[in-house]
Every structure is written in C-alpha cells, then in structure tokens.
Amino acid sequence: MTGNKYVALNFSNTEQEGGGLNYQAGKPRRRLWRWWKQLSRFQRSVAYAGFFSIILLALYLFLPSPKPPSSLTSVTQAAVPHHLDSLMGGQKSLVSDIGLELESAFRPSRLEEYIKKVETTTSSNLILAPASVKLSPDGNELWMLNKVEVDERVDKHQESEVRDEAQGDIGLDIPVSVQLTPLSRKKVPPKGGVHFPGPTNERQEAVVQGLKHAWTGYRRFAWGHDHLRPISAKPQDWFSLGLTLVDALDTLLITGLQEEFDKARAWVEKNLIFDIDKDVNLFEVTIRVLGGLLSTYHLSGDILFLNKAVDLGGRLLPCFASPSGVPFSDVNLATRRAHSPKWSPDSTTSEITTIQLEFRELSRLSGDPTFEETAAKVSEHVHQLPKTEGLVPIYINTNTGQFRSYSTITLGARGDSYYEYLLKQWLQTGRTIDYLRNDYLEGIAGAMKLLARRTPRSNLQYIGELLAGGKDFKPKMDHLTCYLPGTLILGVHNGMPKEHLKFAEDLLYTCYQTYAQQPTFLAPEITYFQLQEGEGSDTYVKSNDAHNLLRPEFIESLWYMYYFTGNKTYQDWGWKIFQAFEKYTKVGNGYTSIGNVRNPLNTRPRDMMESFFLGETLKYLYLLFSDDQTILNLDEWVFNSEAHPLPIHEA
C-alpha cells in the first residue's frame, strides 16, 4: 500500500510541475534530470519499459512489411540454398529467377495487377505473361505464349486478330501484340487424340459397366469432389481438386466413354481452379492430378489439359525450396507456402522420388525446363546417398537431405515407387540415364538378397521388411508391394536380368494367394508370413490389416505379366478378382472399401470409393482383358504410378 501512495504522489508532482515535458519553463534539462532522479527504481523501470515499447511499436508500424508468405519468395530474400543455384541450369540470379517466374508466370492472383500494369503502359514494354501453351495452326507444334508486347502502334486489324488470339489463352481485353514462341519438342499428340475402339469382349464390357456404375454414383452425389461415399451418397474432400474426376479422365477415354469424358472435360475447363487456399500433398497431387492431366492431354490432344497442368506445376514448385532440395511434402496451392508435415521435418522417400516422370513430361510439353531439372535434381541427390545394398530407408530429412537411417526399409508403403520410378524414368528418357538403371539393378538385387524369403511349408516367395535401419527382419508384406512383379517384367522386357522374371512370377503367385486364401477372394491391406514351420497356414492377417481399399497393384502386375507373356491364366485370375469386387464391394451408388476381407458375412463396408479405383484398378482390369494389347504399346508409353500413360521419349 505504501508503495502505491508513493507512486501516486510522484506522478502527480510530475504533472503539476509540467515535468520534463514543459520545455518552455527554462533550464529544462536540469529539471528533467532532477525529476528523473526523484523517481523510484520501480518507476524508472516502468518508464524504460514504456519507452522501449514505443520504439518497438514504431519499428513494427513503420518498417516495410515482409512479402506475402510464399515459401519461394521468402527464399529469394533469405540466404539462397546452394542446391537451387543449379536448378536453372546455371543461369544468372537463379533463385530470384524462380521467384519471378512463380510470382509472375504462374500466379493468377497477380493477374489483375498485371493487367493494370499493361493497361497503363503506353510504350512497347515486354511483360512476362502467365505461362500458357497452344497448338500451332497446323496442329504440328506447340507454341508457348510467354510474352505480351504492349504496342499502341499496332494497326487496328492486326490488333483485333492478335487480341482474339491472346484472349483465347489469357483473357486480356487490351491492345496487345502476342509473341508465340515455338517450342522445340516433338511429341505432339495426334490430331483429335488417340483413338480407342471401346470394349471388344464380354469381360471388358463388364468392366465398362462397372465403371459406368461407379461414375454414375460419383456424378450424382459427389460431382467435382475428391471422392464419393457410395453408401451414404455423400461427397468427401481431401484436396478439393476433383480427384476422382481427374484420375478417371484417361480411363474414360481408353474405355470409350466419350459422353462421360465430355462432361468431365467441361467441369475441368470451368471448375478445376488451383488457386485454392489449401495444403495439398506434393506426391498425391503430382501422380493423380498432374499425371492425369498430362496423360489426358496426350490421349485427347486437347490443349486445355496441358494448360491446367502448367498452372498446377508452377504451384507445386515451391516444395523444392527446402534447405536441402529434398522437397517438402505439402504446399498451399494459393499462397504457395510449402512445408513438412506438422509432426516431422522428414519427407517420405517414395514420395520425393515419384514425381519425376510427371515433372519431366511437363517440361517437355511446356518448353520450361524448370520442372524437369528441379525434380531430376532430387533423384540425383538420392542417387549419391549411402544405401543398404541399393535399398533405401523410408524417411528423408528435408533440412539435411540425409536418410533417417533408423527408419524401415520396405518395398511397401513409403518405399515402393522409389524402385518403380528408377526403371520408369530410365525408360521415359529413352534408356539414356545410366545411374537410374544402375540404382534400379542394385535395389532389386538388394531386395532379392535381404528382403526376399520363402515360407517354410508352401515355399511362398514374399518380400519382408527391415526394421531399425536393417537390423530386424519383419515377415510382413503390404498389398502395395504387389506392384513389383509388373515393374520387374517391364524391366526384363527392356534388358534387365532374366532372373528378375522368375522372381516376378513367384511373387505374383504369392500376391494371388493373398486374394485366393480369403473367403471373399479379396486381399487384405497387409499379409504376414510364418518364419518357422508351425501349425496352421503359412500366412496370416491381423485384424487391423484386414481391410481392402479397392487397390490396383496386383491387377496392375497381372496386366504387365499378361501383356508380355500372353498367358491367359493371368486374365482368369483378374476375372476372379473382378467378380469378388462385384460381389463384396459393389453397392447401390458405386463401390466401397471394406474393413474385413476375412468374413464374407461381415465385410464392414467403409463407405469410401478411392479415386484410384477408377484411375487405376478399373483401367488395369480393362487393359488386362483386352484382345489387342497394342492399344497402348509399352514401347511407346510408360505408366506413371497412378496408371496414367505418358510418352516414352527418344534417346
């Protein structure tokens, strides 16, 4: 209490005297000093605190504010990670170049600002326009619309012609002359796209009926959403990018569902907008959406899909601006802020190595090398990291660029498609990049040596996992691993060792058993194998792993095996599985994941139809039952990890 009085008295004194603020009252400094000396220590502290607060407030208010939260933009202002120096092939001021590209070339929110700038410009200024690609009038070349020259001297006739051209691509109603840069690339889709005959036999017809059934439910109850919940007849969203619709575009073309495709195309044109304030996963969006758009562009010849892909690609690029160049897992498509998952600075190895096919194709099509070079750097980086006999741990640190050495080694979840894309990138580039082939060979040799085992009784070949950085073996195989037989035979067809074929056949048989041994004839998500001979079966399923998500991997492998061997047994296996899908997963408005493959009387439907069911599973089934395998020739096309075919480039 005493203290309080003391404080009050002193402050009132100050006020009566006019305090140090009364500069008119003569000798102000001495008075100020006396007044200051009269203050208690506490009062002086308060005064200090107030003073510093005012300074801080002033700094906050008057210093220039930082740029918007684009991760790449902030990289341009902060220290430049050295790996980015080479992203642009050694061009000057590299990171700021990327920043500029992203800011001006790919960012629709800048468009208005850009238009204003153009409208007020009177002289002939070159301004970088949003990247946009169009076909040349003869349809034989791609042109990139990348510069807009404001020139008021353009004569009226020429002006309106040019304006029409420009509006088609970027929607500017201003006097511009447009410079179209022809791209030096060859793979332009045939005019009108690739022709597909539609189903030619009963099994294919049945798959098309299944696709129509799934599509109708999606169209009625989840149109434009990521997924359909087929039982509750409700939509489900993950990234809000119309995943099912985009994933299914090329399946609709391949199966000859033109009407359905046309409606989907109209949705893409109007509603597939990437300027959404939402975090998305780089890998998932790359394989499903970017891959889907690029493949649909090739199969349809419709430039709309390429332009959407260019827009999306630019928005995904900030992921690569991590300290090590190992991409962050997530990015906000509107703000372009990229980051790791909230719980860890690590990215997933298979994710960061399963984006290169798509980014490369985007560069080849758009004429902008940034995509290919940026993604290829990641593969090159992973190539020079130490591995366990060619095998990689499933986590990698985005700061250091090093593997999390104690993480699991597996060809299942989070490891799988690292091996797949080594081979497929090598094929895509005309078998020219040796390190990809060598890493693939090493990885498969490592898997055969350290991960492949046989069960004691029935001699089933399977691939297990290494835990704790390689110390412990776990006899567990994800359904995801069943992609491997398909990749192996694709490799053998392209000159990989013959022993890979035997390994592929044996594994394929085991995968088939994971289906055949269940009373539903559907495989669980994960199967375990006995290490020692004991009672009961060589395989077992834990109740948490007994679900089936309508995944494609085994059907995918069946198709590759049938494609290269012509052995109709593979078609028959696929037909049995298709019938099981019909029996246990088909519901009124589509197909549903189920929670339990072990009990046909209680499959525990999960009310979810994943986009890959239309993008992959039904597509691979349709191709598997095809009489004419050359409709998509595997010497000309390489399928991405989400079953979207992309062209193989010449060496």
Task: Check if 165 is active-site.
Answer: no
Radius of gyration for the alpha carbons in the chain, expressed in angstroms and rounded = 31
| Beta carbon of residue 353, minimum distance to ligand DMJ (angstroms, whole number) | 11
- Which of 416, 420, 439, 478 is an active site residue? 416
Closest CB 612 distance from ligand DMJ, rounded Å: 4
Q: Which of 143, 614, 642, 646 binds ligand DMJ (CB under 6 A)?
A: 642
* 556 annotated active-site: no
Is residue 575 a contact point for ligand DMJ (CB under 6 A)? no
Q: Longest Cα pair distance anywhere in the chain, in angstroms?
A: 108
Phi-psi region of 89 (alpha: psi -120 to 50; beta: other; left: phi over 0): left
Site for ligand DMJ in 601-640 (CB under 6 A): 612, 616
Please give the Cα distance from 148 to 163 (Å, whole number).
Answer: 11
173 has catalytic annotation: no
Instruction: Please report whether residue 292 would count as binding ligand DMJ according to CB under 6 A.
Output: no
For this structure, is 284 an active site residue?
Answer: yes
C-beta pairs of 623-627 under 8 Å, 24+ apart in sequence: 623/254, 623/559, 623/563, 624/555, 624/558, 624/559, 624/562, 624/570, 624/571, 624/574, 625/201, 625/203, 625/204, 625/207, 625/571, 625/574, 625/575, 626/200, 626/204, 627/200, 627/201
Q: Which is nearer to ligand DMJ, 483 or 573 (CB)?
A: 483
Question: Which residue in 630, 593, 624, 626 sits closest to 608, CA to CA?
Answer: 593
**CB closer to ligand DMJ, 7 vs 413:** 413
Number of residues that bind ligand DMJ (CB under 6 A): 8
Residue 30 CA to residue 118 CA, distance in Å, equals: 62
Rounded distance between C-alpha atoms, residue 399 and residue 157, angstroms = 56
Nearby residues of 36 by Cβ (< 8 Å), 6 or more positions away:
20, 44
Residue 315: how many other CB atoms lie within 10 Å: 24
Any bridge partners for residue 133, and if so which? Answer: 144
Among 649, 525, 647, 641, smallest CA distance to 287 is for 641
Question: Binding of ligand DMJ at residue 551 (CB under 6 A)?
Answer: yes
Least distance in angstroms from the C-beta of 523 to ligand DMJ: 12
**Contact set for ligand DMJ, span 218-277 (CB under 6 A):** none
- Tell the burial category of 3 from Cβ atoms under 10 Å away from its Cβ (0-12, 13-18, 19+): exposed
377 near 325, Cβ under 8 Å?
yes
Q: Which of left, alpha, beta for 481 (phi over 0: left; psi -120 to 50: alpha)?
A: alpha
Written as six digits, the tokens of 151 are 């020139």
Catalytic residue among 103, 247, 284, 330: 284
Q: Write the DSSP assignment of 442-479 as a string of letters.
A: HHHHHIIIIIEEE-TTT--EEE-EEETTTTEEE-EEEG
**Backbone phi, psi, residue 612, to 5°:** -70, -10
Least CB distance to ligand DMJ at residue 611 (A): 8
Identify the residue among 552, 574, 645, 647 touching ligand DMJ (CB under 6 A): 552
Comparing CB distances to ligand DMJ, the nearer of 461 and 640 is 640
The strand pairing partners of 609, in sequence order, are 228
Contact between 177 and 218 (Cβ < 8 Å): no
Q: Is residue 554 close enough to count as binding ligand DMJ by CB under 6 A?
A: no
CB of 288 to ligand DMJ, least distance (A): 7
| Token pair of 124 as six digits | 């002939």
- The CB-of-558 to ligand DMJ minimum distance in angstroms stands at 15
Q: Which of 260, 525, 538, 610 is catalytic?
A: 525
Residue 85 has a CB neighbour count (10 Å cut-off) of 13
| Residue placing its CB nearer to ligand DMJ in the complex, 118 or 646 | 646
Binding-site member from 251, 353, 514, 641 for ligand DMJ (CB under 6 A): 641
By beta-carbon proximity to ligand DMJ, the closer residue of 491 and 552 is: 552
Note whether 440 and 508 are within 8 A (CB): no
CB-wise, 83 or 225, nearer to ligand DMJ? 225
Q: Which is nearer to ligand DMJ, 106 or 578 (by Cβ)?
A: 578
417: contact with ligand DMJ by CB under 6 A: yes
**Using CB under 6 A as the criterion, what x/- string covers residues 439-478 for binding ligand DMJ?**
----------------------------------------
Is 281 a binder of ligand DMJ (CB under 6 A)? no
Q: How far is the CB of 479 from ligand DMJ (least distance, A)?
A: 8
Q: Which is nearer to ligand DMJ, 330 or 616 (CB)?
A: 616
- Annotated catalytic residue, options 553, 556, 616, 642: 553
Q: Does 356 bind ligand DMJ (CB under 6 A)?
A: no
Asked if 589 touches ligand DMJ (CB under 6 A), the answer is no
CB of residue 201 to ligand DMJ, shortest distance in Å:
26
And the tokens for 297? 């562009």
CB 323 within 8 A of CB 74: no
Interface characters, 371-410, with ligand DMJ (x: CB under 6 A): ----------------------------------------
- Taking the complex as a whole, how short is the minimal distance between the CB of residue 481 and ligand DMJ, in angstroms? 11
Minimum CB separation of residue 645 from ligand DMJ in Å reads 14
351: contact with ligand DMJ by CB under 6 A? no
Question: Going by C-beta distance under 8 Å and a sequence separation of 6 or more, which residues neighbour residue 515?
Answer: 521, 522, 523, 554, 573, 576, 577, 580
Instruction: Considering the complex, state which of residue 302 and residue 616 has its C-beta at the smaller distance from ligand DMJ.
Output: 616
149 Cβ neighbours under 8 A, 6+ residues apart: 124, 125, 126, 176, 177, 178, 179
Cβ distance to ligand DMJ smaller for residue 260 or 351? 351
Task: Tell me the closest approach of the beta carbon of residue 506 to ligand DMJ, in angstroms.
Answer: 22
**By the criterion CB under 6 A, which residues form the site for ligand DMJ?**
417, 480, 551-552, 612, 616, 641-642
Catalytic residues: 284, 416, 525, 553
